[in-house]
Structure 1
Amino acid sequence: MDPWVSLDPPMPAGARARAGEPGGARELVTGALADGTKRGDVGGHLELAAALGAVVPRPASGSTATLWESLATLGAHDLQLARAVEPHLDALAILDEAGVAVAAGPGATWGVFAAEGPGVRLVARPDGERWLLEGTKPWCSLASHLSHALVTAWVDDRTRGLFALDLRDPAVRTGEHAERWVPRGLPDVVSTPIEVEGAAVTPVGAPGWYLERDGFAWGGIGVAAVWYGGAVGLARRLAQPVGRELDQVAHLHLGAVDQHLTASRAVLAEAAAVVDSGGVTGSAAAALATRVRSVVVASAEGVLAACEHALGPGPQVGDASYAAALADLRLYLRQHHAERDLAALGRQAEHEGPWWTTRSAT
């Protein structure tokens, strides 16, 4: 079976889908999967990320669907692999969007560290023509494996800037407190704090730019493409269960899965076209990202439930790869802010929901 996860709608026999995958992205992704990727091989996953960075299209480049299909295909194969690749591609897209070149060297691998946590803070201060970082940044995924990262740091009490940081700098310490990492999903994608003591960094955009740019929305949809891929991977297991025939109840669950995945595929495909058109910016771009992510999360959670109901406990205790895929997707979906994001979407829709045709004068 072709592992490629397409966003194209199902085609009648003899019809032709979207032609050509720019830069060989499809060939590189499917070739890597055919050669075999080992779960937990973080180094190998990051090598693939570096290779993909040279060929996978950037968002809003005219080939956004190919980017998101690449991420979905990796997610369908192994969410840990996709979780390593996605931030690297996002970082490269951010640097391109900012027009900033960083001399990172061949084989550089990037993360994006923008989370905040209680009791710790990373601060940036100017030092002549350069900037220096001081403090602690929490929740830095794969920090001990990466060469570079884009990190947010406070430039004053209210505003954060984005900076390119060489994680190999002696002023950076990574990998502390790894013993606290005890997940059952994505167990090898370890997040730890990094401690920085005066590392020189390159500013990327003006203070506040990271969250204000349209690309922030496109990156969020890229994560949703990975979630979609994870759900597709589970659906493939349900459609071809080992050692059993699909009965009427299994067909019911598979029909529900098809319904969920069709919704996710449709909103991702539409979003890719909208992003490439350049017609949605600002608050509308943020609303688009929240809408797409919310649809994909609801669909993925529906797929999780259908697979568990249809297949029962057996494969969860007897099939390590299936149990891992369930746990990986559950944890990854929690990057979504659930009801908070739906409330934000509702506030936006109150004034400019895309399903309005007319508005009352009241």
Structure 2
Amino acid sequence: MTSLLSAEPPAEPLPVPRTVEGVAAGLRALLANGALELPLPGHGGLARRWTALAAYGRRDLALARLAEGHTDAVAILDEAGRKPEPGSLYGVWAAKSGGTGAVLDDGRLSGTVRFCSGLTTLDRALVAAGDRLVEVDLSAAGVQRHPEVWQALGMDASDSGDVVFDSVRVAADSVIGPPGWYVERPGFVFGGTGVAAVWLGGVAGVLDVVREVLREKADEHQLAHFGALHTAIAAADALLAATAGVLEDAPDPAVLNDTCRASVEHAAREVLDRAPRITGPAPLCHDRGFAQRLADLQVFVRQHHGERDLAALGRRVLEVTP
């Protein structure tokens, strides 16, 4: 069976306890050794791209969040016929949560953007401002970072928080694409499925720990839960692997993207429910790395909006089904 997950878990886990500085150092190392230079969407290399993203997630979800954001920004720039600044780490900041968001007015960027990952680590960001996308040098005057607003234990080392843009000057050549281009371009869908590949790696990372717990001793109830987790993860993995070969040429890629995301989200919910029932309290209380993996997954997978996204998928399926 074709898989995005390697037979062996990734080497070199991040030091525990994990820190923002440690994740940033790991990300800089990936940039320096070329590990973030993934096949670009639209050129037939999605399987290799998603395999790399899944490997990042299996290693550490905070690191993977920043790695995926950088690679997504590079892909967006490529789709716009642009090149990233050499040696720079990028992110994509596009959240419009609770009425927040950035606006571009007469060459000035203003507003608050929430859920910005890498806010003290990254060099540059692609920021959604209304219906425009702009590239921002994060050392510019008026860029105000607020990591203190992030109170979650999950993804705590992803360097996330709010960014306030206080009349930041944006040159005309830093505006990317025409109005609406960011969400209307073909690569928007490819990026959404790439995030699902990271989630897939995250659930596989939890299963790696559970597997080692069960090697010491396992009863039939634990094995039943383990079998259910294996099935859910294998199904999501197979779906993403198959989708990687057809998504770029699909007549309705949004349905495939949303189906993949829903499949991995379902697997993640199974993991979050069953893994602690398999292990009991000991690893949750004595293994910081395992507890962190579960906390990270709980937060990160909520980029999927649950029933709202499932309803949108159901609506699309009805529209395209004869």
TM-score normalized by the length of structure 1: 0.80
For residues 97 and 258 of structure 1, do their structure 2 counterparts lie closer, same or farther at Cα, with a shift above 3 Å needed? same
Q: How does 1:69-80 map to 2 (within 5 A)?
A: 69-80=51-62
Say if 2:265 and 2:301, in contact at 8 Å, map to a contact too. yes
Aligned to 1:18: none
Q: Distance in 2 between matches of 1:302 and 1:84?
A: 25
Say if 2:135 and 2:175, in contact at 8 Å, map to a contact too. yes
| 1:319 is the counterpart of 2:287 | yes
| 1:206 is the counterpart of 2:178 | yes
Q: Distance in 2 between matches of 1:290 and 1:49?
A: 29
Let me know the Cα RMSD of the aligned residues. 2.3
Q: Distance in 2 between matches of 1:248 and 1:88?
A: 43
**Quick one: which of 129, 133, 142 aligns to 1:153?**
129
Larger Rg: 1 or 2?
1
Q: Distance in 2 between matches of 1:320 and 1:53?
A: 27
**Quick one: which of 196, 203, 213 aligns to 1:224?**
196
| 1:337 is the counterpart of 2:318 | no
Say if 1:88 and 1:111, in contact at 8 Å, map to a contact too. yes
Q: Distance in 2 between matches of 1:45 and 1:196?
A: 31
Q: Distance in 2 between matches of 1:305 and 1:293?
A: 18
- Structure 1 position 250, deviation (Å): 1.9
**Runs of 5+ unmatched residues, structure 2:** none
Q: Distance in 2 between matches of 1:71 and 1:300?
A: 16
Q: How does 1:85-96 map to 2 (within 5 A)?
A: 85-96=67-78
For residues 119 and 213 of structure 1, do their structure 2 counterparts lie closer, same or farther at Cα, with a shift above 3 Å needed? closer
Number of residue pairs aligned between Structure 1 and Structure 2: 312
Say if 2:90 and 2:125, in contact at 8 Å, map to a contact too. yes
Aligned to 2:135: 164
For residues 280 and 313 of structure 1, do their structure 2 counterparts lie closer, same or farther at Cα, with a shift above 3 Å needed? same
**Quick one: which of 257, 266, 271 aligns to 1:289?**
257
Aligned to 1:183: 152
For residues 54 and 263 of structure 1, do their structure 2 counterparts lie closer, same or farther at Cα, with a shift above 3 Å needed? closer
- Structure 1 position 259, deviation (Å): 0.7
Say if 2:200 and 2:264, in contact at 8 Å, map to a contact too. yes
- Structure 1 position 246, deviation (Å): 2.0
Q: Deviations over 1:276-310 (max 9, x none)?
A: xx3225xx222211111001100121122221111
Say if 1:143 and 1:194, in contact at 8 Å, map to a contact too. no
Aligned to 1:19: none
Q: Distance in 2 between matches of 1:316 and 1:267?
A: 30
Q: Deviations over 1:158-185 (max 9, x none)?
A: xx11111111112322x23x32321111
Moved more, 58-67 or 240-249: 240-249
**Quick one: which of 40, 44, 63 aligns to 1:62?**
44
For residues 118 and 311 of structure 1, do their structure 2 counterparts lie closer, same or farther at Cα, with a shift above 3 Å needed? closer
Which amino acid is the alignment partner of residue 73 of structure 2? A
Say if 2:126 and 2:136, in contact at 8 Å, map to a contact too. yes
| 1:195 is the counterpart of 2:165 | yes
- Structure 1 position 349, deviation (Å): 1.0
- Structure 1 position 70, deviation (Å): 0.8
Q: Distance in 2 between matches of 1:48 and 1:287?
A: 36
| Runs of 4 or more consecutive aligned structure 1 residues displaced over 6 Å after TM superposition | none
Say if 2:149 and 2:161, in contact at 8 Å, map to a contact too. no
Say if 2:189 and 2:253, in contact at 8 Å, map to a contact too. yes
Q: Distance in 2 between matches of 1:317 and 1:209?
A: 47
Say if 2:30 and 2:36, in contact at 8 Å, map to a contact too. no
Say if 1:134 and 1:199, in contact at 8 Å, map to a contact too. no
For residues 95 and 198 of structure 1, do their structure 2 counterparts lie closer, same or farther at Cα, with a shift above 3 Å needed? same
Say if 1:37 and 1:44, in contact at 8 Å, map to a contact too. no
Say if 1:161 and 1:209, in contact at 8 Å, map to a contact too. yes
What secondary structure is seen at the aligned counterpart in 2 of 1:194?
strand
Question: Highest relative contact order (Cα 8 Å, sep 6+), 1 or 2?
Answer: 2
Q: Distance in 1 between matches of 2:101 and 2:320?
A: 36
Q: Distance in 1 between matches of 2:188 and 2:24?
A: 27
Percentage of identical aligned residues: 37
Aligned to 1:350: 318
Q: Distance in 1 between matches of 2:129 and 2:226?
A: 46
Aligned to 2:114: 138
